[in-house]
């Protein structure tokens, strides 16, 4: 029987989760759903000094907003819980002890001062101090001290850590689904701390023990954890456990220049790096992105479908996703492309859905503006302007003249369009408009056009000044569509006001 697919997203609650973290969560989610498996959220909070209040809730809210909820995790207890490592702290000690008992780990009593002194001494000689096979027999630990001395120290309650005893002169052959086979010489590895004197495991021990106990089948995480793979594989071997399959995702790189996209890049370069706002930084949500667009562009950061397709629904991503199609090399982040995605999703959305979102924005500006407006009017306005928008919040600037008459007129346009005879022509137009019963775009258009012809006027003498007085500028869709939507009374009012102001 093949093992059930169980993956986990295992963030440490040390701050806002940036989009790289969400991308890791997304790839885990897609992989789990593709294989009818489980997506687990595990909070890795063993390092209490780095714990940030609110970070865990932020992670949960961000996953929910992106519509990639976890199946098991804090608040959704399954049979493998608890899912916060701080609530599992009694579990780890016995595993650390087990490694000491079978010779894979040892007690180390070196004080911080002693270690600092070793580091300094090495630095002075231009060397780096590494705690491992080449010097551990000379340091203050259970490999160098007698059993008696060790037992005495433990009985006295001396501070100690438990270190992994990394072997000498061995070649490790590690497997990564994305990177293939990786050879490591154990001589370059240090004896990592597994358990600390404060009674807490380190990331490495807790992570391996929990992945094992939670029956995680695949570990999908960022490339920054690749250097830990050798230790993790050795820990599985030392416990005699079958290791999960590993896949290390490529880094997300800065839009320009070298290096990994950092939390600070967003502010420096003017685009969001968080899904939701975190402290002072606005998130994708607050900037007006649709979660579907965010998920779509994140999926293509480091994964490729092998086709030209760029727009994917979540369901399509689930069915297309494979780890084999994740790239090895870093994925350059392109803020313009994120906007392109939002634009695509906005154009695809139903006008009614957009109208409801736009109504909320108008309501925040001034609820009175909605009094005379039916939802069907807003829908019509949206059909007229949406092709020029990337975000719903741009609707207002693109359509404010549907709600409010201009209080000023663009200077250059006035110079160009407002001629001596314009007031007279517009006054005559008002008389025509007053007589129109059916004030719909099509009807007004044919009557005004007939009138222009009958008066032997040119279009240029009527239409541009008309647009200017209705909109305040030369922008906007078809003038007759604007007229039909704002209605006869308002059109006449705006023409009269302009004549009074500009003449």
The answer to the question of residue 200 lying near ligand GLU (CB under 6 A) is: no
- The token duo for 234 is 């050795």
* Whole-number Å distance between alpha carbons of 465 and 483: 14
- The token duo for 426 is 């517009």
Rounded least distance, CB 208 to ligand GLU, Å? 9
Between 422-434 and 459-471, two packed helices, what is the crossing angle to 10 degrees? 80
Please give the DSSP secondary-structure letter assigned to residue 149: H
Between 89-101 and 203-213, two packed helices, what is the crossing angle to 10 degrees? 100
In the complex with ligand GLU, the residue whose CB is nearer, 52 or 311, is 52
Helix or strand (DSSP H, E) at 126: none
The answer to the question of residue 230 lying near ligand GLU (CB under 6 A) is: no
The answer to the question of residue 84 lying near ligand GLU (CB under 6 A) is: no
Give the one residue of 51, 225, 340, 439 binding ligand GLU; rule: CB under 6 A: 225
Structure-derived torsion over alpha carbons of residues 472, 476, 482, 483, reported in degrees to the nearest 10: 50
In the complex with ligand GLU, the residue whose CB is nearer, 203 or 341, is 203
* Whole-number Å distance between alpha carbons of 73 and 11: 12
Tell me which stretch binds ligand GLU (CB under 6 A): 6-14, 127-135, 171-179, 311-319. 6-14
Identify the CA nearest to 134 among candidates 105, 166, 163, 162: 166
- The token duo for 341 is 């995605």
In the complex with ligand GLU, the residue whose CB is nearer, 44 or 72, is 44
Rounded least distance, CB 468 to ligand GLU, Å? 58
Distance of CA 483 to the CA centre of its chain: 42
Residue 360, SS3 per DSSP: helix
- Left if phi > 0, otherwise alpha if psi is -120 to 50, otherwise beta: which for 135? alpha
| 113, HSE (Cβ side, Cα atoms, 13 Å) | 1
**Residue pair 23/68 in contact by the 8 Å Cβ criterion:** no
Between 375-385 and 351-365, two packed helices, what is the crossing angle to 10 degrees? 110
Give the one residue of 10, 99, 249, 486 binding ligand GLU; rule: CB under 6 A: 10
Rounded least distance, CB 114 to ligand GLU, Å? 29
* Whole-number Å distance between alpha carbons of 198 and 196: 5
The answer to the question of residue 47 lying near ligand GLU (CB under 6 A) is: no
Rounded least distance, CB 27 to ligand GLU, Å? 12
CA distances from residue 383 to 319, 392, 398, 477 in whole angstroms, order as listed = 33, 13, 12, 10
Rounded least distance, CB 99 to ligand GLU, Å? 19
Rounded least distance, CB 85 to ligand GLU, Å? 9
In the complex with ligand GLU, the residue whose CB is nearer, 231 or 466, is 231
Rounded least distance, CB 219 to ligand GLU, Å? 6
The answer to the question of residue 223 lying near ligand GLU (CB under 6 A) is: no
Rounded least distance, CB 412 to ligand GLU, Å? 55
Rg (the chain; Cα; Å)? 33
Give the one residue of 5, 6, 11, 403 binding ligand GLU; rule: CB under 6 A: 11
The answer to the question of residue 44 lying near ligand GLU (CB under 6 A) is: yes
Give the one residue of 18, 136, 163, 221 binding ligand GLU; rule: CB under 6 A: 221
Residue 482, SS3 per DSSP: helix
Identify the CA nearest to 210 among candidates 241, 177, 186: 241
Rounded least distance, CB 230 to ligand GLU, Å? 14
Reply yes or no on whether 416 is catalytic: no
Tell me which stretch binds ligand GLU (CB under 6 A): 10-18, 255-263, 420-428, 437-445. 10-18
Catalytic residue among 89, 196, 254, 263: 263
The answer to the question of residue 13 lying near ligand GLU (CB under 6 A) is: no
The answer to the question of residue 248 lying near ligand GLU (CB under 6 A) is: no
The answer to the question of residue 72 lying near ligand GLU (CB under 6 A) is: no
The answer to the question of residue 236 lying near ligand GLU (CB under 6 A) is: no
- The token duo for 204 is 């490495």
Residue 191 burial (10 A CB sphere; 0-12, 13-18, 19+): buried
- The token duo for 79 is 């049979």
The answer to the question of residue 201 lying near ligand GLU (CB under 6 A) is: no
Q: Positive or negative, the Cα torsion across 468, 470, 472, 473?
A: negative
The answer to the question of residue 12 lying near ligand GLU (CB under 6 A) is: yes
The answer to the question of residue 239 lying near ligand GLU (CB under 6 A) is: no
In the complex with ligand GLU, the residue whose CB is nearer, 141 or 207, is 207
The answer to the question of residue 202 lying near ligand GLU (CB under 6 A) is: no
Give the one residue of 207, 217, 338, 342 binding ligand GLU; rule: CB under 6 A: 207
In the complex with ligand GLU, the residue whose CB is nearer, 11 or 406, is 11
* Whole-number Å distance between alpha carbons of 468 and 432: 19
Tell me which stretch binds ligand GLU (CB under 6 A): 5-13, 169-177, 253-261, 355-363. 5-13
The answer to the question of residue 380 lying near ligand GLU (CB under 6 A) is: no
Please give the DSSP secondary-structure letter assigned to residue 419: -
In the complex with ligand GLU, the residue whose CB is nearer, 46 or 141, is 46
Q: How many residues of this chain bind ligand GLU (CB under 6 A)?
A: 8
Sites of contact with ligand GLU (CB under 6 A): 10-12, 44, 203, 207, 221, 225
Q: Which residues are known to be catalytic?
A: 263
């Amino acid at each position: 029987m093949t093992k059930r697919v169980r993956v986990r997203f295992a963030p440490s609650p040390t701050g806002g989760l940036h989009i790289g973290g969400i991308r890791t969560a997304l790839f885990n989610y897609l992989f789990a759903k593709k294989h009818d498996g489980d997506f687990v959220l595990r909070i890795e909070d063993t390092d209490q000094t780095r714990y940030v209040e609110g970070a865990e809730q932020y992670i949960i809210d961000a996953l929910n907003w992106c519509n990639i909820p976890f199946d098991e995790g804090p608040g959704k207890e399954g049979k493998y819980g608890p899912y916060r490592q701080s609530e599992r702290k009694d579990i780890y000690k016995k595993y650390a002890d087990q490694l000491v008992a079978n010779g894979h780990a040892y007690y180390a009593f070196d004080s911080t001062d002693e270690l600092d002194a070793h580091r300094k001494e090495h630095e002075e000689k231009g060397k780096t101090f590494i705690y491992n096979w080449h010097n551990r027999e000379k340091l203050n630990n259970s490999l160098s001290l007698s059993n008696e001395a060790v037992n005495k120290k433990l009985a006295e309650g001396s501070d100690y850590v438990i270190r992994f005893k990394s072997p000498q002169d061995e070649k490790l052959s590690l497997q990564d689904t994305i990177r293939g086979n990786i050879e490591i010489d154990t001589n370059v590895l240090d004896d990592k701390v597994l358990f600390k004197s404060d009674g807490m495991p380190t990331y490495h021990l807790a992570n391996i023990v929990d992945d094992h106990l939670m029956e995680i089948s695949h570990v999908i995480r960022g490339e920054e954890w690749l250097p830990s793979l050798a230790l993790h594989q050795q820990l599985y071997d030392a416990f005699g456990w079958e290791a999960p399959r590993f896949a290390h995702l490529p880094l997300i790189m800065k839009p320009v220049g070298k290096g990994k996209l950092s939390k600070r890049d967003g502010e420096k370069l003017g685009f969001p790096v968080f899904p939701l706002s975190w402290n002072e930084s606005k998130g994708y949500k607050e900037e007006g992105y649709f979660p579907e667009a965010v998920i779509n562009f994140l999926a293509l950061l480091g994964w490729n479908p092998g086709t030209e397709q760029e727009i994917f629904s979540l369901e399509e991503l689930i069915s297309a996703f494979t780890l084999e199609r994740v790239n090895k090399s870093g994925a350059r982040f392109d803020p313009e492309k994120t906007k392109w995605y939002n634009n695509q999703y906005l154009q695809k959305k139903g006008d009614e859905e957009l109208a409801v979102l736009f109504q909320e924005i108008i309501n925040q500006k001034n609820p009175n503006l909605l009094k005379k407006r039916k939802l069907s009017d807003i829908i019509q306005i949206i059909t007229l302007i949406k092709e020029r928008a990337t975000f719903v919040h741009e609707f207002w600037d693109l359509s404010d003249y549907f709600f409010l008459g201009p209080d000023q007129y663009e200077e250059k346009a006035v110079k160009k369009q407002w001629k001596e005879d314009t007031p007279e022509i517009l006054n005559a137009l008002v008389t025509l408009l007053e007589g129109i019963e059916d004030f719909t775009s099509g009807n007004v258009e044919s009557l005004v056009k007939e009138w222009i012809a009958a008066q032997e006027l040119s279009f240029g003498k009527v239409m541009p000044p008309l647009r200017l007085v209705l909109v305040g500028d030369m922008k906007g869709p078809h003038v007759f569509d604007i007229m039909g939507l704002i209605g006869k009374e308002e059109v006449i009012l705006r023409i009269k006001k302009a004549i009074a102001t500009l003449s």
